[in-house]
Amino acid sequence: MKILFYDARDYDRDSFDAQLKNYPNIKIDYIEADLSPVTASLARGYDAVCAFVNSDASAMALEILRGFDVKLVLMRSAGFDAVNVPVAKDLGMTVLRVPAYSPEAIAEQAIGLGLCAARRIHKGYARVRENDFSLQGLLGVNLHGKTAGIVGTGKIGAAMVRICNGFGMKVLGYDVYQNPSLEGMVEYVELDELLRRSDLISLHCPLFDSNRHMINADAIDKMKDGVVFINTARGGLVDTKALIEGIRSGKIGAAGLDVYEEEGDNVFRNCSNTIIESVTSTLCSFPNVVMTSHQAFFTKEALASIAKTTLDNATAFANGEELTGPAVVC
């Protein structure tokens, strides 16, 4: 099987090449360009493409791929909102993903961002480097004894529930399905109640058209004053303008963001010599906001697991095995 690997970085090559010796029938060509309608034709002659979270596997890109007889899209991510799944289905393409490479990697980043923002650790770090040992403006809040609201209690949300329990927090959960493994650890409530009662809110659900901007001005209005807000799920879940207003008004006391609506243009790129005029730069300018560039997945353990599962997915497809389970998007 020949795979064209889009949007390849050094760390992708390292983690996939480290596994490839165990998959003699797979050959990978890595390219820096990301998948889009413009670059889809580069996949001529390949059996599969491997794409990532900000790839553009839209209808047009998929149609071009299918035209070149590419039948398999290997998402090296858990989320698959980058793929137009109904179109992929119509075209008879198979889309496989990595459903659980390391839920703890994401949950640990989520609590890290929340703590950093709530305790102004990023500000303290910068001050001490400048020999400024003052504490003005760095007053934080305890998490112990407070209430955490976890939106989406699947694999990552469950890891976050366990972490928040460990911090001595009461944990509320909102999900369309309740996770039986969390019995005794979480109280399930409706979203409105979670928004009203939580001192810390962390998003861990997938993005669909139906829940785009689920955190909008109305939702933010319902939150407690000074809430710690964390998003490591998908930027599109949050109406960024409403979030900015919420931070300006003091309703949101601290925000930790690994994902944001405009990340597609900048994410995984070094834009340090570019003037970025966007909501991203507005968010970055706030003293109580800590942002990372979609790096929650980025641990050694997670990268090794992503590579292995993606290559297992490719092998199962190549061997004509019956594809079932959570790796199968369509």
Show the tokens assigned to 42. Answer: 């580069």
Buried residues in 140-154 as b, exposed as e (16+ CB within 10 A): beebeebbbbbbbbb
Task: Pick the closest to residue 52 from 38, 32, 26 (CA basis).
Answer: 32
Q: Is 157 in the site for ligand NAI (CB under 6 A)?
A: yes
Residue 297 is a binding residue for ligand NAI (CB under 6 A): yes
Q: CB 8 → ligand NAI: shortest distance, Å?
A: 17
In terms of CB distance, is 42 or 172 closer to ligand NAI? 172
Q: Binding of ligand NAI at residue 296 (CB under 6 A)?
A: yes
Q: In whole angstroms, give the CA distance from residue 203 to residue 152.
A: 7
Q: Is 63 a catalytic residue?
A: no
Asked if 177 interacts with ligand NAI (CB under 6 A), we say yes
Residue 226 in the binding site for ligand NAI (CB under 6 A): no
- Our answer to whether residue 234 is catalytic in this structure is yes
Residues between 96 and 135 with contacts to ligand NAI, criterion CB under 6 A? 100, 103, 106
Least Å distance, CB 38 to ligand NAI, is 25
Answer for which of 152, 235, 246, 256 binds ligand NAI (CB under 6 A) is 152
| Residue 26 binding ligand NAI, by CB under 6 A | no
**Do 138 and 118 meet the contact criterion of CB atoms below 8 Å apart?**
no
* Catalytic residue list contains 130: no
**E strands present in 204-286:** 227-231, 252-257
Beta carbon of residue 106, minimum distance to ligand NAI (angstroms, whole number): 5
210-232 burial, b if ≥16 CB within 10 A, otherwise e?
ebebbbbeebbeebbeebbbbbb
Q: Under rule CB under 6 A, which residues in 191-220 are in contact with ligand NAI?
A: 204-207, 211
Amino acid, res. 20:
L
Q: Per rule CB under 6 A, is residue 76 in the interface with ligand NAI?
A: no
**Residue of 63, 234, 262, 277 with catalytic role:** 234
Q: In which order are the strands placed within the sheet that holds 72-75?
A: 27-30, 2-5, 48-51, 72-75, 94-96
**Site membership for ligand NAI, residue 258 (CB under 6 A):** yes
The single residue of 76, 120, 204, 294 carrying the catalytic annotation is: 294
CB of 122 to ligand NAI, least distance (A): 18
Print the SS3 string covering 211-226.
HCCCECHHHHHHCCCC
Residue that has been written with the tokens 């998929």 in this structure: 62
Applying CB under 6 A, among 26, 43, 72, 78 the residue interacting with ligand NAI is 78
CA distances from 113 to 76, 117, 257, 305 (A): 24, 6, 7, 23
**CA gap 280, 294 in Å, rounded:** 13
Q: Measured at CB, which residue is nearest to ligand NAI?
A: 154
Considering only residues 151, 238, 303, 307, which one is a binding residue for ligand NAI as defined by CB under 6 A? 151
234 belongs to the binding site for ligand NAI (CB under 6 A): yes
Residue identified by tokens 């500000």 is: 123
- List residues with catalytic annotation: 234, 263, 294
What residue ranges bind ligand NAI (CB under 6 A)? 78-79, 100, 103, 106, 151-157, 174-177, 204-207, 211, 232-234, 258-259, 294, 296-297
